[in-house]
Structures are given as C-alpha cells and as structure tokens.
C-alpha cells in the first residue's frame, strides 16, 4: 500500500483510508460486530493504516467497535475521531438538525471519553465535526492545542469548514487535515477550499468519495432504502435525482471498461490523482468492496484520462442538493 502525508504535517497514512461510520450508523441498522471487527483487521493486513470514526456515530457504537478491533494493532494505525455535537440529546436533534457543542470544556470531555472507547492513550487526528457558530474557532483551536500539549491528541482537523474558518483556526493551532465531501459529483471544494489548503499545507480527506454509494454503479432509480438509511432523506437520492444523475455513473462505467476497472475504482483513482496530499476514506462493510477500493490505489490515470473525465463530467449537471436545508446550513462555516 502506498503512503501519503497529510499536507505539511508529519502524519503519514495509507493512500486510502477506511471510513467506519456505516458499520454502526447512517446506512441502515448497525452491522454484525464480529464481522466488522474481522473487516477492520483485514484492512490493516491489506496495508490500510488510516481509520475514521466519530463519537456521534451510534452515538458511541462506532468508536467502541474501532477501539476493540484495532487495540491489538494500535501502534500500526492512525485513528481519527471527531467532536462537536451534543450527544446528550438525539443526534438527529430538533427538526432534523443535530445540536452542536464545541465549547472548550465539552471538547476536553469528549476527548477523555473517546480515548476510553478507542482503548488508546492518544487520538491521532481530532476533527471538529461541524463548525459551531456559537463558539469562536480560535477557542476551539486553543482547546485542541491544550490536548496536544498534554499528549492526548496528536493532530488537529476540521470538517466542512469554510476558508476563513480554516485560516483563523490554522493561525492558532496548525490544521493537519480538512475532511470534506469531495468526489466527481461534489466538486465545490475546488473553487476556494483546495487552493487554500494547498497554500497553507493542509491535507484533504474526502468523505463520501463514492457519492454515498451512488458512483459505484450499484444503484439506480428503483433502489429502495431502509427507513434507518440516511440516504432516504437526501434530495440527491430521490428516484428522480438518481435517474438524472445516472449520466455520471455511465461516464465512470465507460472509462472503467477501457481501464479494465470498476466505476468505483475510477472515482477513487480520479481523487488520488488530483493532489498528492488527498487521502479518500471510502466506507464499506464488505470485504470484496474493500479489496475493490484498494485496487484503485494502483490504478494509473494518465493526463489524457483525467482530461477526458473532466471534459465529459463538465457537461453533466448533477441534480439534487447534498443535504436537506437544515443540514446544509452546517457546512462551509
């Protein structure tokens, strides 16, 4: 497995990470725990060293799963987790919007609890999950800086933050990585965020690099979602939007055929080719999908391939908002 460094930091991780959320949360009921432990350990054996979780996934179930699975190989892996929600209330919150809490004292409480659940003495990368408009980002960065000085946290990250927030946070405590949605069907980070990260030497960790499963080509307008599946409420996943967005999957399929690869591998290889400091974290609960995703790391897309993809993709209009309005407000702060 190839390695990459996140920006100018000394944090080296596998070129592809593993997003663990779907094992416990958001995509239907929690999956079988022994099976997921086996999958996490199989990922380590295949060279994946970067694992992404959060206290709110469950809440708590996912951190506990990751902690149990990776405890025997803790020194071989990098674990990222997140703070920023008030888990004492329903994580879905009121009117579909989670309740934010990034007050410094809360950040420190979350860190202590996460350390216990993860069965570790340090959090390698601690992200603010969403920007809290009630707490100045300088105070957030200062709280994480305290945790870094104490040795409980190694690196500071942000998620779905806007460029001014990134700059202000970075001025207090260097930001190692930004986690944002980024894929062939969500390219807004290219406008302002990616140039800012390049300037400041911050890595990018794209979540949902396969469009929450849509870009794999395994879904169409007739696909149905369980009531506990987050995608059931997303505007981009209505049957009409899926039908309209099929053109993007067809494009990936065409390139995949030429490259003797799968649409998912092309989507991931495209991201890996964008910048050497981009580390996607596709999630999966299936071993064969894990192997498929890993195959993208050795897939070479030439400059001509990338031009072909960009040219064709620029002619396709993606239909449907990423999130319902209440959740969309929590991005880009």
**Catalytic residue list contains 127:** no
The burial class, CB within 10 Å (0-12 / 13-18 / 19+), for 79 is buried
Residues 6 or more apart whose Cβ sits within 8 Å of residue 52:
17, 18, 19, 20, 21, 80, 81, 179, 205, 207, 281
HSE-up of 84 (CA within 13 Å, CB side)?
27
In Å, how far are 142, 143, 183, 231 from 216, measured between CA atoms?
Answer: 40, 39, 12, 15
> In degrees, to the nearest 5, what angle opens at C-alpha 266 toward C-alphas 262 and 268?
115
Q: Which of 27, 57, 182, 207 is catalytic?
A: 57
**Distance, CA of 141 to chain centre:** 20
The residues that are catalytic are: 57
């Amino acid at each position: 497995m190839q390695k990459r460094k996140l920006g100018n930091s000394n944090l080296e991780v596998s070129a592809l990470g593993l997003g663990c959320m779907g094992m416990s949360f958001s995509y239907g009921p929690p999956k079988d725990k022994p099976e997921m432990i086996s999958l996490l350990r199989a990922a380590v054996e295949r060279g994946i060293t970067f694992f992404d979780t959060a206290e709110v996934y469950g809440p708590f179930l996912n951190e506990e799963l990751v902690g149990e699975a990776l405890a025997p190989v803790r020194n071989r892996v990098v674990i990222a987790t997140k703070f920023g929600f008030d888990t004492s209330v329903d994580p879905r919150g009121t009117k579909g919007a989670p309740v934010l809490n990034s007050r410094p004292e809360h950040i420190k409480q979350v860190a202590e609890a996460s350390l216990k659940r993860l069965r570790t003495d340090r959090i390698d990368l601690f992200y603010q999950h969403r920007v809290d408009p009630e707490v100045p980002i300088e105070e957030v960065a200062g709280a994480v800086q305290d945790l870094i000085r104490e040795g409980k946290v190694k690196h500071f990250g942000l998620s779905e933050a806007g460029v001014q927030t990134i700059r202000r946070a970075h001025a207090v405590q260097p930001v190692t990585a930004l986690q944002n949605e980024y894929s062939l069907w969500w390219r807004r980070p290219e406008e302002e965020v990616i140039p800012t990260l390049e300037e400041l030497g911050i890595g990018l960790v794209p979540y949902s690099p396969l469009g929450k499963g849509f870009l794999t080509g395994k879904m169409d307008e007739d696909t149905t979602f369980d009531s506990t599946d987050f995608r059931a409420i997303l505007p981009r996943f209505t049957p009409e939007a899926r039908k309209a967005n099929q053109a993007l999957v067809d494009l990936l399929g065409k390139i995949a055929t030429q490259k003797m690869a799968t649409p998912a591998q092309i989507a991931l290889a495209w991201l890996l080719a964008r910048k050497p400091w981009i580390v996607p974290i596709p999630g999966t609960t299936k071993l064969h999908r894990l192997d498929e995703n890993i195959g993208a790391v050795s897939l070479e897309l030439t400059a001509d391939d990338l031009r072909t993809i960009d040219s064709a993709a620029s002619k396709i209009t993606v239909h449907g908002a990423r999130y319902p309005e209440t959740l969309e407000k929590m991005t880009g702060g």
